[in-house]
Chain A
C-alpha cells in the first residue's frame, strides 16, 4: 500500500511538473501534446533496442532464430490469465499492446518489465515515460517466475 502511495505521489509530482512546465493551456488535448513532446525529448537520448531495463535479468537475452511454439503456447495461456485484464494484443488498453513489442524494445527489457514493474517505473526512463503515457496506471506485478515471463516473451514473438 505504501508503495502505491509512493507511486501515486510520483505520478502526482510528475503531473504537477507537466502542468507547471507544460504551460498555461486549459485545453486537455494541448497539455497531452506537451506530454508527448516531453516524452520524445527523453526518448531521444536512449536507444530502446539497446536498453535492457532494470530488474532481475542483468545479461542480455539472445533469442533463437526459430520460435519455440510449445513455449509460445504456454506463454499465451499465462498471458491470458495474468495479463489480459490490462493488455489487448493489438490495441492500446490499460497498458500498451504487445503486438510488435520486439521491434520497439529489447527482449531483456520486456522480461524486466514483467518481473519487476515497480523498479522499472522508478528507475527505467522508458518505463517512467510509459507510466505517464498510460495515465499513471502502474503495471501490476503478477508474481510470475522467470520461466513464465520467458514463455510470454516467446508468445509475443508470434503476434
Chain B
C-alpha cells in the first residue's frame, strides 16, 4: 500500500512538474506550498484506524463547534452550541430550548470563536471545552465525555464577547473581554460622547472543579477600549491574565481609520490573584444586571434557564496595584504567552515588528515604578522597561502565535498569507511557509498550555478562492495541516471546514477517547416524562394537552396507534429510546409538526410538540436508519374534530402496551 501511495505521490509530483514545464506558469505547483513527497502517507489513516489527535475547530458564524481528526482532517461531529441544529433537535426539543435563552429572549444563533480545553497543572486535561459567543455575549461549556453542550452563561455589561474563552492553568477562571466599549450599565446617551463614558468589561468566570459549572466571579469595569484577545500567565506568570486592546483612541466611528491613530496600544496585565485578595477584603460592589444561566442536567436530560440579577463589579481604582498597561505595537490582535510563562507576545496587526515582552522585566518595572504616565489612573509601564525585544519585519499583519516545546513561536500573518516559525530567545525567523489564503488563527494541540503537543500545526484560513471545486459564490473556508516536528514546517493537507474556522483547540486522542460516553443508562434516566419500559408507555390527556409517553427500540414505537387526539390540542411526544447498545440512536418525526425531528440516544428521553390542525390519520416514523426493519418503524395518530368524544386510546399490536 505504501508503495502505491509513494508511486501516486511521485506521479503527482511528476505531473505537476510536467505541467509547470509545459505551461511555464507557476500557478498549480507553487500553490502546493511546502508539500513534500510523502505528505499523503503522513495523513493517511487506514480505514478502521483512528486519528492520533482531536481538533476542535470553531464553527465561527455557524455558532457551533466541529470535531475533526488529525492528521486525516476528517470531520466526525458538529457539536451544536449556540445555534439550533434541526439534525439533532438541539434548540428545537423542549429539553434543549432553554440552552438558547438569553436576557434578550430566545436567540437561535450565535457566533462562536475561541475554544479552549480545561487544564490541570498547566496541561490540558480533556474534561471540558469552553467556547465563547461573540454577538450575544456568552460562554459555553461542553463535556468531552458526551460531546454535548452542558452549560451556557450570558455575560452582562459586555458587547461582542471576543477576548474569550481562555482558561487559566488550573481552570480557575475563564475570561471574557468585551470587544465593544458600551455604557456600563447601559443607558440612553449620545454616541459621540463615548470617550471616557463608555466602559469595557473584563469578566472572570470561576469553574466548579467537580461539576464544571461556571459563575461570574467578578467583572472589572475597565476603560472603554476594545478588548481583542487574551491569554493567561502560566508557570512563573500564573496568577496574571493578559488582554490585548485596540481603539485606545476610543473612537466611535470609522474605526478602520480612527482606531489606528495611536502608535501604540496596550496589553492590559491583570493580577487576578491580587484582585481575589481585594475581594476577600470587601472590594467591589454588587450591581444589578440581567443574564441567563442555562444548565443541562444529564440525568434529567433537560436544561433549565435561570435569569440572574446581580453581578460583582470592581472598579480599577479599588485594586491599585493589580492592573498595568504594557505598550504594544499598534492595533494588536494576538496576545500570547509562551509555555514557560516568561514571554508575552503582542501581534500588532499594523506594525512592521512584533513585540515580545518579558514577564520578569515587567515585575521589575512595577517594582521600580518605571511608569510612562497612566491611563484612567492605571500605570502605563515604560516600553523599554518591559520589552524583551522585537521580531523585526517577520511578515505583514501578524495575528496569532502558538508555541512548540523547543523555544519556538509560530505566527500567522493575515496580509501576507503565511505562517512563520521563529525562535523566541534569538528573535530570529527560522522558516516561513505560504498558506492559502488569509490565515487567521493557528492551533498547535495544547497550544495554550505549558505542554504543547508539538507535532502538528493547523492554520485556519478565511479565504480559499481556487483551492477547492467551486460551489457558486459561497465557497468553504479551510484548515491546513503542517508537520512541525522537523526544522522546517511541512504542509501535509488542506481540508474544508464548517462556517468560519475561527480558532481551535486540540489534544492527543488518548486524553479523551476511552472516556467518552457510549450510552445513557436507563436506570439513571430521571427525565420527568421518561419511561423505563414499554409497559409504562401511555397517553394522557390534560385538558387541551396530550402527553404521549412513547418508547422506541429496534424497530417499533410503543404505542404506535393513538386515537382521541383533537384539532386544537397540543400534543407532546416524550420519546424514550430503550436501547442500551452503543450507536443505536432512533429518530422520530411527525408530519406537520412545526419543529425539527428528534434524534434520541440510547437511554435518553426527548420531547417535541405537535399541534394538529386538520382531522385525519397522521403518520410518524423513525428518521435514523436503525435496523433492517427501520422502514417499518412507524405509527399513526388519529385526529378527530375539536369537541369530538373519541376517547384517548393507545395500542401496540392491538393491545395496551405491556398487556
Q: Are B627 and A4 in contact (CB under 8 A)?
A: yes
Q: Can you list 25 A-B contacts (CB < 8 A)?
A: A1-B625, A4-B626, A4-B628, A5-B625, A11-B628, A81-B532, A82-B533, A82-B580, A84-B534, A84-B535, A85-B553, A85-B558, A86-B553, A86-B554, A93-B653, A94-B556, A136-B628, A137-B555, A137-B629, A138-B627, A140-B580, A141-B580, A143-B519, A143-B580, A143-B581
| Residue of A whose beta carbon sits closest to that of B521 | A143
Which positions 532-574 of chain B face chain A at CB distance < 8 Å? Answer: 532-535, 551, 553-556, 558
B579 within 8 A of A: yes
B606 within 8 A of A: no
For B, the interface residue count at a CB cutoff of 8 angstroms equals: 27
Binary contact track A81-123/B, C-beta < 8 Å → 1, others 0: 1101110000001100000000000000000000000000000
How near does chain B come to A128, taking the closest CB pair, in angstroms? 14
A residues contacting B by CB (< 8 A) are 1, 3-5, 7-8, 11-12, 80-82, 84-86, 93-94, 135-138, 140-144
Q: Are B583 and A1 in contact (CB under 8 A)?
A: yes
How near does chain B come to A44, taking the closest CB pair, in angstroms? 27
Which positions 515-538 of chain B face chain A at CB distance < 8 Å? Answer: 519, 522-523, 532-535
Q: Are A4 and B625 in contact (CB under 8 A)?
A: yes
Known: A138-B554, A140-B554, A140-B579. A85 touches B628 (CB 8 A): no
Q: Are A140 and B584 in contact (CB under 8 A)?
A: yes
Q: How far is the CA of A155 from the CA of B396 in the complex (A)?
A: 75
Q: How far is the CA of A144 from the CA of B522 in the complex (A)?
A: 12
Q: How far is the CA of A5 from the CA of B627 in the complex (A)?
A: 7
| Residue of A whose beta carbon sits closest to that of B537 | A85
| Residue of A whose beta carbon sits closest to that of B632 | A135
B658 within 8 A of A: yes
B578 within 8 A of A: yes
How near does chain B come to A56, taking the closest CB pair, in angstroms? 15
CB-defined contacts of B534 to chain A, threshold 8 Å: 84-85
CB-defined contacts of A142 to chain B, threshold 8 Å: 579-581
Q: Are A81 and B627 in contact (CB under 8 A)?
A: no
Known: A4-B625, A85-B551. A80 touches B533 (CB 8 A): yes
CB-defined contacts of B551 to chain A, threshold 8 Å: 85
Q: Are A136 and B629 in contact (CB under 8 A)?
A: yes
Q: Are B658 and A84 in contact (CB under 8 A)?
A: yes
Which positions 321-358 of chain B face chain A at CB distance < 8 Å? Answer: none
9 additional contacts, CB 8 Å, given A85-B534, A136-B629, A142-B579?
Answer: A4-B628, A8-B627, A11-B628, A84-B533, A85-B551, A137-B628, A138-B554, A141-B580, A143-B580
CB-defined contacts of A11 to chain B, threshold 8 Å: 628
From B519, B523, B554, contact of A81 by CB (8 A): B523
CB-defined contacts of B628 to chain A, threshold 8 Å: 4, 7-8, 11-12, 135-138
CB-defined contacts of A94 to chain B, threshold 8 Å: 556
Q: Are A137 and B554 in contact (CB under 8 A)?
A: yes
Q: Are A140 and B581 in contact (CB under 8 A)?
A: yes
Q: Are A85 and B578 in contact (CB under 8 A)?
A: yes
| Residue of B whose beta carbon sits closest to that of A94 | B556
| Residue of B whose beta carbon sits closest to that of A86 | B553
How near does chain A come to B579, taking the closest CB pair, in angstroms? 6
CB-defined contacts of B554 to chain A, threshold 8 Å: 86, 137-138, 140
Q: How far is the CA of A12 from the CA of B15 in the complex (A)?
A: 45
How near does chain B come to A26, taking the closest CB pair, in angstroms? 21
Q: How far is the CA of A88 from the CA of B176 in the complex (A)?
A: 57
Q: How far is the CA of A12 from the CA of B658 in the complex (A)?
A: 31
Chain B CB within 10 Å, residue with most, of A7, A82, A140, A142: A140
CB-defined contacts of A3 to chain B, threshold 8 Å: 583
Q: How far is the CA of A143 from the CA of B554 in the complex (A)?
A: 15
How near does chain B come to A87, taking the closest CB pair, in angstroms? 10
Chain A CB within 10 Å, residue with most, of B533, B535, B653, B658: B533
Chain A CB within 10 Å, residue with most, of B627, B628, B658: B628
Q: How far is the CA of A85 from the CA of B627 in the complex (A)?
A: 15
Q: How far is the CA of A4 from the CA of B628 in the complex (A)?
A: 7
CB-defined contacts of A138 to chain B, threshold 8 Å: 554, 627-628
CB-defined contacts of A141 to chain B, threshold 8 Å: 580-581
CB-defined contacts of B578 to chain A, threshold 8 Å: 82, 85
Q: How far is the CA of A126 from the CA of B42 in the complex (A)?
A: 46
How near does chain B come to A8, taking the closest CB pair, in angstroms? 4
From B553, B653, B658, contact of A140 by CB (8 A): B553
Q: How far is the CA of A129 from the CA of B551 in the complex (A)?
A: 28
How near does chain B come to A129, taking the closest CB pair, in angstroms? 15
Q: How far is the CA of A85 from the CA of B551 in the complex (A)?
A: 9
Q: Are B629 and A135 in contact (CB under 8 A)?
A: yes
Q: How far is the CA of A12 from the CA of B653 in the complex (A)?
A: 25
Which positions 626-642 of chain B face chain A at CB distance < 8 Å? Answer: 626-629
| Residue of B whose beta carbon sits closest to that of A143 | B580
From B522, B555, B583, contact of A82 by CB (8 A): B522
| Residue of B whose beta carbon sits closest to that of A118 | B581
| Residue of A whose beta carbon sits closest to that of B657 | A85
| Residue of A whose beta carbon sits closest to that of B653 | A93
Q: How far is the CA of A140 from the CA of B653 in the complex (A)?
A: 20
| Residue of A whose beta carbon sits closest to that of B603 | A143
Which positions 581-612 of chain B face chain A at CB distance < 8 Å? Answer: 581-584
Q: How far is the CA of A22 from the CA of B119 in the complex (A)?
A: 64
CB-defined contacts of B584 to chain A, threshold 8 Å: 4, 140
Q: Are A81 and B653 in contact (CB under 8 A)?
A: no
